[in-house]
Structure 1
Amino acid sequence: MRRGMIALAGAALILAGAACGRASETPTQASKGPPPLPAPETLSSRPAAGPGEKLYLAKCAMCHGPGGMGTGLLARRTDQPLLEKRTDLTIDYVVQAARTGIGNMPAIPRGEVSDAELQQIAEHLAKGAKP
């Protein structure tokens, strides 16, 4: 019992010393961390958005916009993870990828995005495609 108490006291002293060491850090050292996430793309951030862009912002940007989880996963597969900035997307590819899913992206059912809505989103995303 006494040996356990001595070990606990020793651990408490070590932890207290470590905490004191952190207290001596300057505020800039202590506050450094990852950079802030970019502001999300929303309908309010793009008031002049066209119909396909509005649907993209409402249905897709939460994952595929700046800082979205789809962006991080897609960055491992392509040089340009932001879908709106890609120049290699065709309408057919966007529709096929959305309906069947691709990689970690699940299939998007018609109950979530209608065929007409998906067509508008695909046209918006394929606008930058090279002919």
Structure 2
Amino acid sequence: MRVFGFLGLAAAALSLAACSGSGDDTTQTDGAKQGPPPMPEPITLSQRPDATGGEKLYVEKCMMCHGPNGMGTGLLARRMDVPLLEERDDLTVDYVTQAARMGIGNMPAIPRGEVSDEQLEQIAQYLASKNPDAGDGA
């Protein structure tokens, strides 16, 4: 009976704590609760119907990890000012190719059976296209 009484008190205390809002991370503005912002929508080819070449391949093959929802982007954000690869202007074709084939950090190596050399070249050229110093991409 004593154990039941203790468990009953503990349950009541937890219930009161939950109802009181203590420990609630939401903020109140004008009486409305607001939680964290929603996750961004994943980017797919349906959102980029005009994508071709390297951009299309990037969306198909890389976006799941390097898009706004991807784990690769979250990990890069810890070390880089610009974690989204499409927004970086410091990538070269050689760097992208080497990183993809050999792997880098937590990113595994991407085998030729998953992305061919020709496909990787197009992806690398697309990503390096924002680098003013890349020249011909090398």
TM-score when normalising by structure 2:
0.83
Instruction: Tell me which residue corresponds to 1:115.
Output: 117
> Gapped runs of 5+ residues in structure 2?
22-27, 134-138
SS in 1 for 2:4: helix
> Gapped runs of 5+ residues in structure 1?
none
Decide which of 15, 27, 32 is 1:28's aligned counterpart: 32
Q: Aligned pair 1:6/2:12, yes or no?
A: no
Decide which of 79, 84, 100 is 2:86's aligned counterpart: 84
Cα deviation code 1:26-73 (max 9, x no counterpart): 8833xx322111122211111111211000000000110112111110
- Identity percentage of aligned residues: 63
Structure 1 or 2: more helix by fraction? 1
Deviation at 1:19, TM superposition (A): 4.3
Instruction: Tell me which residue corresponds to 2:130.
Output: 128
Decide which of 79, 95, 98 is 1:96's aligned counterpart: 98
Decide which of 77, 85, 98 is 1:75's aligned counterpart: 77
SS in 2 for 1:44: helix
Distance in 2, matches of 1:63 and 1:14, equals 43
Aligned length: 125
Q: Aligned pair 1:52/2:51, yes or no?
A: no
TM-score when normalising by structure 1:
0.87
Structure 1 or 2: more strand by fraction? 2
Which of structure 1's runs of 4+ aligned residues deviate more than 2 A?
15-22, 26-29
- Relative distance call for 1:64 and 1:20 in structure 2 (3 A) is closer
Query: Partner amino acid for 1:120?
Result: Q
Give the RMSD, CA atoms, in angstroms.
1.7
Instruction: Tell me which residue corresponds to 2:68.
Output: 66
Distance in 2, matches of 1:39 and 1:10, equals 44
Distance in 1, matches of 2:98 and 2:49, equals 29
Distance in 1, matches of 2:19 and 2:119, equals 58
